[in-house]
Amino acid sequence: MSSAVHTLGTLTTVPALDRLDLVAPPVAALLRSWEHAASVGVVEIDPALSETSATVEVYGVPWESGANCVVVMGKRDGQERIAACVVRGDTRADVNNRVKRLLDVRKCSFLDHDRAVAETGMEYGGITPVGVPSEWRLLLDSRVPEIPVVLIGSGIRGSKLVLPGALLAELPGAEVVEGLAG
């Protein structure tokens, strides 16, 4: 098992498995059992700077190294369909077209903040694909796995995960999708 220490901008991580106190409980639970966890680093940040634009500006992280996770939902025949969508930090999920078609629903919207927090067990603004509910679809824009080292939420606003982008495609249930983001 190798230990994950990554540097991105002015941020230097420690192995996430050594600091599970810096991630949300569902993230820690997945990392404890995930075969690639040894390649994941975590770094503590100022919670007020957890938004992508602030992280880029203050910590010198390149826009193209960041990734965001948004949770969307739609209904079909009375059945809810929820997906966590991961896109590069310099793009936006194509919720009204691509995601809507993938979920096979008439209309898609972002999942209510309170509900997203309750169902993920993560803080709003820190939601990450690592540890999202297994019944949700996990959609990754095809450009995300190409990022050599990616910065993404940790489930809390006070830290970030850093790992090779290709490993996000190895998360349980992950689907890599062309054109998920515009």
pLDDT on residue 3? 59
pLDDT grade for 40, boundaries at 50, 70 and 90: very high
**Structural domains in the chain?**
7-177 (3.90.960.10)
Is the per-residue pLDDT at 2 higher than 80? no
- Reported as a single tens digit per residue, the pLDDT across 84-128 is 999 998 999 999 999 999 999 999 999 999 999 999 999 999 999
Cβ–Cβ < 8 Å for 181, 51: no
Taking the model in full, what pTM does it have? 0.93
Return all residues near 79 (Cβ < 8 A) that are at least 6 apart.
none
- Reported as a single tens digit per residue, the pLDDT across 132-146 is 999 999 999 999 999
With a pLDDT cut of 90, the percent of the chain lying above it is: 86
Is the per-residue pLDDT at 4 higher than 90? no
With a pLDDT cut of 70, the percent of the chain lying above it is: 98
pLDDT on residue 7? 87
Q: What is the mean pLDDT of the chain?
A: 94
Q: How far apart are CA 160 and CA 11, in angstroms?
A: 10
